[in-house]
Amino acid sequence: MTVTDHFLEFVKFDTQSDEETNLTPSSPGQMVFAKHLKAVLLGMGLEDVDLDDNGYLMATLPANTDKDVPVIGFIAHMDTSPDMTGRHVNPRIVKGYPGGPIVLNEEQDIVLDPEAFPELNNYIGQDLIVTDGTTLLGADDKAGIAEIISAVAYLQAHPEIKHGKIRIGFNPDEEIGLGAHKYNVEKFGCAFAYTMDGGALGELEYENFNAASARVTIKGRNVHPGYAKHKMINSIRVAASFIAMLPRWETPEHTEGYEGFYHLVGIEGSVEETVLTYIIRDHDRDRFESRKKEIEHLCRKTNMEFPGSCSVEIKDQYYNMREKVEPQMYIIEYAEEAMRMAGITPKVQPIRGGTDGAQLSFKGLPCPNIFAGGENFHGRYEYVSIQSMEKAVEVIVNICRIVEEKA
């Protein structure tokens, strides 16, 4: 089977994660998919194929060299985003994309248009897999899974390519930030690994946001509005004042590159009580800590005007993996060399988000992120280039070759 065949098979599985269940995996479809993948890996003749009760699947491609080669791993996640349904995905291949708009769903007038998504112009002449406009596609990260499996199959079919022991890891719940929480790094047993979970061709990432969540609770006092003067405290209005005190331009829609932000992701309230939910992001650790302190400062400021009304709970989520990867930059150099061997110009850039690799790096497994080829993740306009997936397979094979040669 080609990488395309694998991908088209895998996207048929509904694996949306669910942050409300408090289960691992968070949705039953992920375990169904994991069992299917286990059967695929067993059918390939891989060793140590193990699926645990939490939906973490691992396997081994044994070394075919006498050298003492570091054990390396390749990782991808099985879940798709809760942002849009992944049920009944109906993919379609646009062969030799000629440019211009792609009608995804004529009946509902859903069009993938380069005027809205100019990156499409980079793919003229390539074969694109798109949705029918009613679901996401699932290239994030079923493209990564298909690429890892295809690369391993290629190595099996070409024993002349020498490599050390290769470990494969597929995990649940990356999209809700829990993919690495129950990852048994010791059991995985690698010196370092790569997540195949990036976007466009050539992306190579070893920097990500430091991340925290903040839950701001504002208590009000509700009395009859006709007799409320000097008595009522409307928590919604106090919350609106709190929101306005944060810097207007330090939000996702006004930032890029290394710029951090405060992002209001939820508000639920009444006169009596309002809860604001924020995520806080910054690549720089000092600025990240300052952002958290600013939220706490504004809470104290609110309490000066409305004593005892405001409280905040801040929880760190993950940290920038750069500090764990930089001492071992040869990991990045291997990936860059592997890309150049495949005719790809590496694009080293920071992730404006998180990745399983960030948390795994802090658990002792340095784990940068490599492109998987998709674009427009988490929505109906998601697509992936078949040529980019094929190049990702080539990069994985090249990394395995390079690590063995340099051992």
Residues with catalytic annotation?
Answer: 79, 174
H or E element at residue 264: strand 261-269
The single residue listed with the structure tokens 């069992």 is 35
Assign 98 to helix, strand or coil: coil
Q: Shortest CA distance to 390 belongs to which of 129, 103, 205?
A: 129
Greatest Cα pair distance, the chain, in angstroms, is 86
Task: Find out whether 165 and 65 touch, Cβ atoms under 8 Å.
Answer: no
Sheet bearing 261-269, strands edge to edge? 261-269, 273-282, 210-219, 310-318
Strand partners, 57: 51, 170
C-alpha–C-alpha distance, residues 22 and 90, integer Å: 29
Task: Find out whether 257 and 269 touch, Cβ atoms under 8 Å.
Answer: no
For residue 319, the one-letter residue type is: Y
**Angle of CA points 349, 351, 183, to nearest 5°:** 125
- Counted residue by residue, the chain has a size of 407
C-alpha–C-alpha distance, residues 406 and 396, integer Å: 16
H or E element at residue 141: helix 139-157
The single residue listed with the structure tokens 């809760």 is 82
C-alpha–C-alpha distance, residues 29 and 172, integer Å: 10
